[in-house]
Amino acid sequence: MRRPNVRSWYLGALVAVTFTLVAMATLLLRVPAPGPLVGTAAAQPKTYKVIMANVLNPGDPTVDAMTDFKKEVEDKSGGRIKVELYPSAQLGSQEEVVEMIKSGAAQIHIASPQYPAKYLPELQVITLPYLFGSPEAFDRALDGSVGAEFSRLLEDKTEFKILAFEEFGLKNVFNRRRPVNTLEDLKGLKLRVINAPVTIKTFEALGASPVGMPINEVYTAIQTGVLDGAEQPLNVIRSGKFYEVAKYASLTGHFYEIALAYANKSFINGLPSDLKQIVTDAAQNMAKKERQVARTNAKTAREFLTSKGMVLNDVAPAELAKMKAAVRPVYDWAKQQWGEPLVTRVLQATQ
């Protein structure tokens, strides 16, 4: 029998394999590249999370308004922004949340301007005692030149951006020892205040003994006698249930407290333009509604607190005039700190 030619066999096999590979490569080149699979990250728009904090409790207008903000932002963004709400000091004290906003660990905070003023001290000018004589003066100043100037200053000099000006409302002294009918009645009262220069100096000028302390520690401090009382709007006295530990509330109206809705600047400015507009619009809508609710609730809060056994009293105009005179040195101090022109512009805008 004739033996096969091995060399010819190998050459034939090699030619067959080569033709097969060429054919497969040609076929693959004709097949279009696959697109992104439905449901994969590449097919979905980018989403963003907003952590929004407030140390006060549900029932306070500034806390309840956060729910409106969340709904509007999530609805109008089609779910591209998710808003998580953290009231009742769930994220810590005001000071701790300020640092979270600064670092970007949280995105929006509702608080007195005195807290972010750590990074822009002149922000304290809009927290001076007896600055806003009425809700109309509050609106006129903060919706006008004053609000615009401080919004620009904060954004230019810090990592914060003001979204809106809400209000906590008129602050009043409440305590467990006695009603405050006169300037003399304030003397010696150990009262919790925001641990900031303007507030401390105001109560020193009024003759009280101010104590800086986080708001979430105040209830227990009054209950145990560490404090005699504190100063808060009637809405906050109600939502914080301070009527359970303090018998007297006196309508001193010494601060018209701003509730600043401010955010991490890099986060807001880094949003796509359509989402940034949704967030800023929702914040303005939130503030407009919150102011109305806060003012309405302040009228009903007095009846509520009285029904809980708290004794509320008005302060006579003559005594209020004495209190206003007593805090004039705080204005002199503010002018020395940040210049008379700035303080004067703010005062003129509130008239």
Give the model's pLDDT for residue 42: 53
CATH number at residue 334: 3.40.190.170
15 belongs to a structural domain: no
117 belongs to a structural domain: yes
13 belongs to a structural domain: no
23 belongs to a structural domain: no
pLDDT tens digits, 273-315: 999 999 999 999 999 999 999 999 999 999 999 999 999 999 9
pLDDT tens digits, 168-184: 999 999 999 999 999 99
pLDDT of 25 above 70:
no
- CA distance linking residue 98 with residue 119, whole number of Å: 10
Torsion, Cα 280 286 290 292, to 10 degrees, reads 90
4 belongs to a structural domain: no
pLDDT tens digits, 58-77: 999 999 999 999 999 999 99
CA nearest neighbour of 47 among 23, 72, 24, 79: 79
Length of the chain: 351
Range of the domain at 98: 46-350
* 43 — pLDDT class (breaks 50, 70, 90): low
Give the model's pLDDT for residue 246: 98
Give the model's pLDDT for residue 19: 41
pLDDT of 237 above 90:
yes
27 belongs to a structural domain: no
**Average pLDDT estimate for 131-141:** 96
pTM to 2 decimal places:
0.86
1 belongs to a structural domain: no
258 belongs to a structural domain: yes
pLDDT of 253 above 50:
yes
- CA distance linking residue 164 with residue 167, whole number of Å: 10
Number of domains in the chain: 1
152: tokens are 């620009």
pLDDT of 14 above 50:
no
